[in-house]
Structure 1
């Protein structure tokens, strides 16, 4: 797996940046080796409160701050334990125009980016995203609509959004991801039998892709197999 050109990737791990020579060890160098343009990391184990806040980091990037500015704003304290790797002046969202002939495949993300920057009111943003999803028939935008709906506490509408996104996606991994969202919704509502039903259907439908391991892992948690029979000792 390789990241798209210009991608920023990070994984919260205590020693993610402990070394930068062997991509088979630690997360930071591994992400860069897989094509990420920038990453965050920790050379030692800080307290959780001293690590980068990914939500703030992402928000500042969306607001067109540079990589180093976003990283600086997303951390509570300056410490030798934290690192930033990449061009400090990199701005991944500098271009906000939705209509462009370049990078057509990024259309959906440009629409989402535009909605987030143009409509700060959550209700208006959701309405505009829903219009865009219906107009473009985009699984990606429908998935974002579902997340926004879920954030507002409307689980039923969120489930409809994830199901609609699944219908529109063509890639099996994308479809499976929507099933996993639905499973999480059922778990939150304590509807474990419904969650198990979705997982069993997904296990059968996506048996040929590596992502099915996530399904198998969840089934082991929610519907563990019976313990093996043991013979009584004489």
Structure 2
């Protein structure tokens, strides 16, 4: 069943590109920061990942109830002592500057039966939709996501719209599947509702959909 997200929540998807010799240090520092983040009243959740195809690339999906990005940057990013050493060190151990994407939460689905695990298969999918097809795509996306949520291996999915570009959407999805091959066999190539959706997509998109496979490193849920 669709749960419509609080549109006032702040959702960030943060990308990191770390120098190879500093990946262990980065993980230790980031995990320490996240543990402190969980004690904040406005913290909702955080999920940390490593890219499956690159040991030096990481991402964090985080959700807060702060009132605005500016308020978050002032109160959280700049105002917390536990962040200061991390923020000072991060540019020195990074190959490229951290990228922070602000997302507008639209809806989410969470399984009542399957809990997240460190072995989950995780995707982060990007869509660039034609401006005159936005509502048509959102309707189709909600239909397929509702169907996905009924699958036995489904763990969770979060649907967002880019806060700065209304034609861009992302889906963060998590499955209790051992591999991409199993996922393709059991879902992508096996479900009629997916075939219908896939046939619709080319006419709705401005450019090809892209996705990454993420390896979970940690999950935190607020109080």
Confirm or deny a common fold (TM above 0.5): no
Structure with more helix by fraction: 1
Structure-1-length-normalised TM-score = 0.30
Of structures 1 and 2, the larger Rg is shown by: 1
From the two aligned structures, give the one with the greater strand fraction: 2
